Structure 1
Amino acid sequence: MSRPARVPSRLAFLPFSARAAVAEGLISRSMLRGPAWRRLLPDVYVHRDGYRADDHRMWCDAVGLTLPPGAVVGGLSAAYLWGVQLVARDSPVTVLIPGNSRPRARPRVRYTLATLSAGDVTRFGGLPVTTPLRTAFDLGRKAPRTEAVVAVDALLNRRLVKPAALSDYLAEHPGWPGVALLREVLGLAEPLSESPMETRLRLLLVDAGFPGPTVQHDVCDARGHFIGRVDLAYPRLRIALEYEGDHHRERAHFRQDVARLNALRAAGWLVLRFTADDVLLHPARTLALIAHAIQERRTHLDIRGVTRRA
């Protein structure tokens, strides 16, 4: 029985340029036509063990081998490389190119004309990429507003960007497309927001005229002992608003949630829990539920001599 051909370590998992690999004698053109290799882009291949159709990092690495001079990975793809995962699994890689470039259209790539200074670009894992600051500047200028706030919140939360630095960068680029939107986004941004859905739930409330909730509020019992941290809160009314992601379905996490929820209720807190469907598909119903809870709590606390303010 013949042994399978040994795969050179440099070609084992990462995308590579076929032309360069053949020139170095690492592989032959005939071998690339075999079942062990996947063609990602013209002249770009990856071994089948390294192929993941929905791996955005793999596609960034592949596209990086085809970048024209001066081009960089930017937008949501840059955010992904910095650890902010907001791209859909099948999204093309965002590439920013100088205004004088006209690259040929390629699959899995979205080219955008951009003006970049030397300070806007750095390298990540061998790829030219926009800095976190420039990435936040670009994403915060891109409609729709909610998604712009989601992106800026995520970059701020990971401490990749500071609000003051983004404000200064904005002031240095007056007249750029979308800067009016970014000013609004900065007014709404919340560095403590820990997930995109928390941001969307918060904006749903703010846009509907509700009082702005406190983000990541620590709840203590009557003796000052820490009970837990809630996503969003109206502390005076003891109302907590929680987003329930898929991780809450894990058995260990579910048990912790039950104990935490019981402790919050024992401390007099009303906890409302919402899913992505509640925020995205049924916003009116969600707002009505929260409005009812606020009114009920206000009425209850008024009887006990507490002012009517969330």
Structure 2
Amino acid sequence: MDLRIEHRSYPSLFRTGEAEERGISQHHLRYDPRFSAVTAGIHRDEVRRVEHPTPSWAEETWMEESLRLRAVTMVVPRIAAGGASAARLFGLPLPHRLVDDHLHLVTFDSGRKVARKGMSVRRHSREEAGYWLELPMHSPVGVFLDLSAELTRDELVVLGDSIVGGWHGPPLCSLEFLRTKIAQRKYLRQRVRVGAALSLIREDVDSPQETDLRLWAMSRGLPEPVVHPRVYCRLINRTVEPDLGYPHARLALEYDGEHHLLSKMQWASDIARDEALRHEGWEVLRVTSQMSRALLERKIRYHLERRAGGGGR
């Protein structure tokens, strides 16, 4: 998936000491909401606006967090978004308990101490950072490892699938790169959990729901479904890739999110694809968040056993 970038309007930022040269009195600086403080020493100007590159999928919370990050970089050198903040800015999925308005930062200056309201800073000796959409960010590998202390194994798999997949744009890195960089770490917290998660991360996954469905199937003792098995369909003269599947049993699993139900175009495309798969002898099971998982398990087992026993064509 391509990353669509928009240039959106943001409040301009200025240091407290620059207020006078901007013609802003101390009274207005303190009481006028136009000039509210973003962090100590940095104010925003809601009238004087600037444009910054912004992902098309970004909401107001993303824009506000990115603005706060820009503000703190004006007063604290060698600082970058890390942990949950970096994950949110990259567009990576997190469990609800990690979705808040706290700004998580990392610094690579071992002697630097930062104490600011609504922010926490983790010091790292290994400098792994770069700029993404003009924002200083901890590396995807660093974000993955920092969050390993807060996420379960399955939550780490979801995070890893999103890093090496194309949920909100191109992969942030390859699975091979992620594994190689982590293998080079001599000292690694949560090594067992990280290793278990790495063994389950797959490339080309399109959504967290697909990851959850794949992990659920394995937790029930079912074989691991293949991510996007390729099936050439003569009816439409092209190759289609269902979300998950068991090629040996010609069984496809398609997760229907909300957009599948709301978009008439998507709905029509899904119907045509399913018809083409069935024409090739595949069975298609459509899965929703409301579907009984017990019933789904019975259906999957039925089709796997049926094909294993020579049923179907």
Identify which of structures 1 and 2 has the higher relative contact order when contacts are C-alpha pairs closer than 8 Å and 6+ apart. 2
When residues 15 and 241 of structure 1 are mapped into structure 2, their CA distance, relative to the original with a 3 A threshold, is: farther
Aligned to 2:122: 113
1:92 aligns with 2:105: no
Aligned to 2:86: 78
In terms of mean alpha carbon deviation, does 236-245 or 90-99 score higher?
A: 90-99
- Aligned-pair Cα RMSD in Å: 3.2
Secondary structure, aligned partner of 2:284: strand
Q: Distance in 1 between matches of 2:48 and 2:255?
A: 36
1:273 aligns with 2:277: no
Aligned to 2:307: 301
The answer on whether the counterparts of 1:56 and 1:93 sit within 8 Å (CA) in structure 2 is no
Aligned to 1:233: 245
How big is the shift at 1:242? 1.6
**Aligned counterpart for 1:143 among listed residues 123, 146, 151:** 151
Large movers: runs of 4+ above 6 Å: none
Secondary structure, aligned partner of 2:306: helix
What code does the residue aligned with 1:94 have? H
What is the aligned length? 284
| Structure 2 runs not aligned, ≥5 long | 1-8, 50-57
Q: Distance in 2 between matches of 1:269 and 1:217?
A: 12
How big is the shift at 1:55? 2.1
When residues 106 and 48 of structure 1 are mapped into structure 2, their CA distance, relative to the original with a 3 A threshold, is: farther
Matching of residues 118-197 of structure 1 within 5 Å: 118=127, 120-140=128-148, 142-157=150-165, 158-197=170-209
1:17 aligns with 2:30: no
**TM-score normalised per structure 1:** 0.76
| Structure 1 runs not aligned, ≥5 long | 1-11, 279-284
Identity %: 25
When residues 220 and 16 of structure 1 are mapped into structure 2, their CA distance, relative to the original with a 3 A threshold, is: same
